[in-house]
């Protein structure tokens, strides 16, 4: 698939994605990324530092949200810039041993801006969990073909 700037317009939706998260997912992300901060896997530790419970790594949320853009772009290498602010933590309930998710992250994206000179599209992501925006200014710049 290739994206041509002439077929795109600002405000266009690129789709949406639902990401179910469990405590096991956070352990996997800790191992894959090397970020073993216990607030992401240990309830007692998380509450001892005044968090409401175990929270997802901000980088888990950021990293999983961008897949919507990667799939739309057709090539992960087309994502030349990606940024966000972390505004609210994603609280992940302990559902170990059940088929239930501990949290659900909803991602949707629209084209925020097209840059004809650079031949890029900026995708603005809306990332929600438990009815709150968990990322702000989540923007990915995609190089077009």
Partner 1 sequence: MTINPDLQGRSYPAAEVYDVGREKIREFARAVKAAHPAHFDVEAASALGHADLVAPPTFAIIIAQRADAQLIEDPEAGIDFSRVVHADQRFTHHRPILAGDRLVAELHVDGVRAMGGGAMITTRSEIFALGADDSREPVTTTTSSILVRGEGQ
Q: Is 81 in the site for partner 1 (CB under 8 A)?
A: yes
Contact 84, 60 (CB under 8 A): no
CB atoms within 10 A of CB 78: 20
Sole window of 78-86, 90-98, 111-119, 122-130 interacting with partner 1 (rule: CB under 8 A): 78-86
Q: Which residues of 91-120 are buried (b: 16+ CB within 10 A; e: fewer)?
A: bbeebeeeeebbbebbbbbebbebeeeeeb
Q: Is 70 in the site for partner 1 (CB under 8 A)?
A: yes
Q: How many residues does the chain have?
A: 145
Q: Pick one of 5, 53, 75, 122: the residue that binds partner 1 (CB under 8 A).
A: 75
Q: Is 35 in the site for partner 1 (CB under 8 A)?
A: yes
Q: Is 14 in the site for partner 1 (CB under 8 A)?
A: no
Q: Which positions touch partner 1 (CB under 8 A)? A: 19, 25, 28-29, 31-35, 37, 49, 58-60, 62-64, 66-67, 69-71, 74-77, 79-86, 140
């Amino acid at each position: 698939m290739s994206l041509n700037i002439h077929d795109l317009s600002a405000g266009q939706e690129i789709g949406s994605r639902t990401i179910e998260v469990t405590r096991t997912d956070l352990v996997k992300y800790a191992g894959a990324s090397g970020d073993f901060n216990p607030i992401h896997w240990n309830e007692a530790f998380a509450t001892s530092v005044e968090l409401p419970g175990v929270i997802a790594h901000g980088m888990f949320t950021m990293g999983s949200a961008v897949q919507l853009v990667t799939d739309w772009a057709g090539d992960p290498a087309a994502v030349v810039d990606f940024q966000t602010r972390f505004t609210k933590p994603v609280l992940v309930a302990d559902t170990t041993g059940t088929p239930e998710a501990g949290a659900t992250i909803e991602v949707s994206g629209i084209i925020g801006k097209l840059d004809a000179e650079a031949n890029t599209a900026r995708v603005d992501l809306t990332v929600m969990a438990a009815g709150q925006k968990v990322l702000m200014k989540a923007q990915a710049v995609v190089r077009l073909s």
